[in-house]
Chain A
């Protein structure tokens, strides 16, 4: 009885472990099956490098280059804002903050992670959009920059909490050794702790960016969704995710528009897969 139970539980856990991989593979196969059909009507080159996205016209123009660039521009903007802030915040929490402030900061950041993205999008639309418009004298406040700022808020919690773990795991002896050699606090942080935690911090950054590129609701509400080739961060952009979300309801099942949206899904999947693999590589280097 006992061994049978053990066996059963063992198998159950094995099943749970395999299930997640199984589902990922299933999802990818499904995406591939639905998305690949779009290439019967558009060549992969025209699809990835076409500059016009008019999916419901006759004939439909399905070029997703503006969407890819839109996603990358917003992500890049969010990275420029959230990485320095996130890493600096993690350093402050682990190295400098008094115990009390540390607790407040940590729970504050956890709270930030708990805000649903649609709420952030809504707040951004009401406050940030007019603000950006007036500060930069733009024709409209619905721009890539607005999206980037809002997404930076979303990436911050991930970056801070993982970077903080990485900084904590730097052995105490490194710190003590550096201080013993007469280094100042800044020198210890800058020359010893940061390099020692570098791979963990990079992983934090990658996971934060993964979250940003997949974010949909907030960007759909505040980036303007104009499918133009972005020339500057002060322009409206349309991202891959927002395109899928906004158009999936309309796309008639089985039409080329429908397949094109799945193909966009594949592109997104590949991008976030690449980001995750990069993060994983850094993680492995850290544990070695």
Chain B
């Protein structure tokens, strides 16, 4: 029987109900919007440098993912690039969770094309028609003859939802405009950046933080009588750039403990400096 003793021991460890049962109270999990992962990560790193005994883990997955884990209690802060939906609030209430919203930064959505594409400015109306599949050739918007390849994020992305509601539907809640069925749904902003970089026919969108020399951000105007505006930090702060949005943290009820300290840190001048450094737009000037 002695031979089996180590085996039994292993079993005992594996099924030990006491291991890991205690949740450490100096740890919080932040989950949600992919757009905000880099920003939250930068905040968390700076915060942990100051408060060495506290740990903050940041994971992406999309704004919707953040809400579902806030509702199921697997994260303390949900980050989101869109407002919480009525459906999600109802569900949260059923599970005894009251979402509490904090606006923590602003973001401009850049619409990007390949640098070789001659098109460099579009109106919101043209964008809506391109992304809903009504304009299908670049020559209709002043470019070379070629099919437009629409790149969008997956439906779990707050950016996808924001773009649909504010560009395709122009903020009209009764509109039923949809992305063209032929739009390619890519799983990350980086995937969109990569495809635009190598495809001269592609058009896509991502948060301003991703802008690089290998894609060309378009200048956007509300309509063709107004000025075309580039997605820059000044233009988003002044509200001139038409596709910009607030970024949120959501907690269950008013934030407590570390979550509260962390959110206060994010909103402090030091925290907002990090917002600028990661190419987002600070909320307080």
Contact = CB atoms under 8 A, between A and B. Distances in A.
B156 A249 contact: yes
B185 A250 contact: no
Contacts of A250: 62, 64-65, 68, 154-156
Given A140-B199, A250-B65, A252-B91, A227 B181 contact: yes
A17 interface: no
Interface in B133-187: 146-147, 149, 154-156, 161, 176, 178, 181-187
B71 interface: yes
A106 interface: no
Contact of A247 (B156, B161, B184): B156
B61 interface: yes
A221 B185 CA distance: 10
Given A252-B91, A253-B68, A246 B181 contact: no
B227 interface: no
A251 B176 CA distance: 20
B195 interface: yes
Contact of A252 (B64, B176, B195, B199): B64
Interface stretch (A18-26, A33-41, A50-58, A190-198): A50-58
Nearest to A246: B154
A142 interface: yes
A236 B152 CA distance: 13
Contacts of B195: 140, 142
B149 A246 contact: no
Contact of A249 (B68, B178, B182, B183): B68
Indicate the size class of the contact surface on chain A.
20 to 34
Interface in B232-275: none
Nearest to A134: B198
Nearest to B178: A54
A129 B151 CA distance: 15
Nearest to A61: B178
A140 B155 contact: no
Contacts of B184: 140, 142, 224-226, 236
Contact of B202 (A140, A228, A251): A140
Interface of A: 52, 54-57, 66, 125, 129-130, 133, 139-142, 220-221, 224-228, 236, 238, 246-247, 249-255
Q: Which 8 A-B pairs have the closest CB atoms?
A: A250-B156, A250-B64, A249-B65, A224-B184, A225-B185, A139-B147, A246-B154, A228-B181
19 contacts: A57-B178, A125-B194, A133-B199, A139-B199, A221-B187, A225-B154, A225-B185, A226-B182, A226-B183, A246-B155, A247-B155, A249-B61, A249-B65, A250-B62, A250-B154, A251-B68, A252-B87, A252-B88, A253-B72
